[in-house]
């Protein structure tokens, strides 16, 4: 009997050790808001998701391989919780497997590109909201005449990320295969930055082979932030180029902590340059206030206005359009819960 108890205790210890060496986490975020959106002369009252943060459901985990090396995976899918539609839940937000250690991290799969990470990290809104600069720099491609699909994420990508013990220096190199005879969306890019104390500054550059017979789609991004304590200021610059055409976005924003809340304000401008597109610019500004009910739950209200010029037809809602040269405005209230 004593031997049986001892054996069970030993097995339990081994099971505990094995469990401690690996972990799997279910995580997610639900964001819902009620909004009034006016694109041109058309006004719509509706419920949306993703206005403060993108709704998602995901799984991530690590396994300790010994010697300081970890294996990891990350599967993250989008949710349209206003209708209950899982967006296919095909893990298109991120789908990666990785190996990491003192050498850094090697990551493979679908992931954010270095340019988008630089821009989102240096916008008080991140990548969501009526006044986020993403509404300009991710959607200016129509002016350039390109269908490049690598402004936010890239498929079939291998990335190397520097280790976190380099005195504030960080960076990454990414390459993505086109996986086709025409090499569509074959991508290569890199990022380098420095973050220490209140300062964070980074630069990213990339190019994409949209199709083998056309010009390269090129993207250069610079971002910086400084935390004064009473407020954090952000600045970003991005220039996308396709052939002789350019689309440049400049944005400034700020976040001000107010007890359990936070106030954000931003301004950004998109400028088209090239034959027949010089007049197709856009300006975007807005404000947002959020109040944290807890570490995981917040309520918020926001406002944004985007003014199109020429044939620019962008909207304060990412992925939507307005009639050429008109205004787009949006305001609403919402709640976000993280789990």
- pTM of the predicted structure, to 2 decimals: 0.89
CATH fold group of domain 109-338: Porin (2.40.160)
Please name every residue paired with 157 in a beta bridge, in sequence order, or none if there are none. Answer: 109, 176
Query: Contact at 8 Å (CB) between 153 and 174?
Result: no
Span 260-314, pLDDT tens digits: 999 999 999 999 999 999 999 999 999 999 999 999 999 999 999 999 999 999 9
| Tokens linked to 83 | 């209708």
Span 125-171, pLDDT tens digits: 999 999 999 999 887 788 888 888 999 999 999 999 999 999 999 99
Nearest Cα neighbor of 75 from 126, 24, 118 is 24
Measure the CA–CA gap between 212 and 209, rounded to whole angstroms: 6
Q: Report the pLDDT value the prediction gives residue 90, as an integer from 0 to 100.
A: 80
Cα 315 to chain centroid distance, Å, stands at 18
Is residue 139 classed as helix, strand or coil in its secondary structure? Answer: coil
Span 12-43, pLDDT tens digits: 443 444 444 789 999 999 999 999 999 999 99
Q: Could you list the beta-strand ranges (E) of the chain.
A: 22-39, 42-49, 56-66, 69-78, 94-101, 104-112, 153-161, 169-176, 186-196, 199-209, 216-227, 232-242, 245-258, 261-273, 282-292, 297-308, 327-338
Query: Contact at 8 Å (CB) between 314 and 270?
Result: yes
């Amino acid at each position: 009997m004593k031997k049986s108890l001892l054996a069970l205790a030993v097995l339990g210890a081994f099971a505990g050790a094995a469990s401690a060496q690996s972990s799997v986490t279910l995580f997610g975020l639900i964001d819902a808001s009620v909004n009034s959106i006016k694109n041109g002369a058309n006004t719509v009252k509706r419920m949306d998701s993703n206005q403060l943060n993108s709704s998602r459901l995901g799984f991530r985990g690590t396994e300790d391989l010994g010697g300081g090396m970890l294996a990891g995976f990350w599967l993250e899918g989008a949710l349209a919780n206003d209708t209950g539609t899982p967006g296919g839940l095909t893990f298109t937000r991120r789908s990666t497997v990785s190996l990491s250690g003192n050498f850094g991290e090697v990551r493979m799969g679908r992931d954010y590109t270095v340019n988008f990470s630089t821009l989102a990290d240096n916008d008080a809104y991140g990548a969501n909201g009526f006044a986020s600069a993403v509404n300009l720099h991710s959607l200016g491609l129509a002016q350039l005449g390109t269908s490049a699909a690598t402004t936010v994420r890239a498929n079939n990508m291998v990335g190397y990320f520097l280790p976190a013990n380099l005195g504030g220096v960080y960076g990454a190199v990414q390459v993505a295969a086109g996986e086709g005879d025409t090499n569509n969306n074959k991508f290569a890019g890199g990022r380098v930055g420095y973050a220490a104390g209140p300062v964070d500054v980074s630069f990213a550059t990339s190019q994409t082979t949209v199709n083998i017979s056309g010009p390269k789609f090129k993207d250069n991004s610079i971002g910086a932030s400084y935390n004064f304590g009473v407020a954090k200021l952000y600045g970003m610059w991005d220039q996308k180029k396709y052939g002789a055409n350019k689309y440049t976005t400049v944005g400034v924003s700020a976040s001000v902590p107010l007890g359990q809340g936070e106030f954000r304000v931003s301004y950004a401008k998109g400028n088209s340059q090239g034959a027949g597109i010089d007049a197709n610019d856009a300006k975007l500004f807005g404000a947002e206030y959020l109040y944290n009910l807890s570490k995981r739950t917040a309520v918020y209200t926001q406002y944004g206005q985007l003014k199109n010029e020429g044939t620019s037809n962008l909207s304060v809602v990412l992925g939507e359009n307005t009639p050429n040269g008109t205004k787009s405005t949006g305001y609403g209230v919402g709640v976000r819960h993280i789990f």
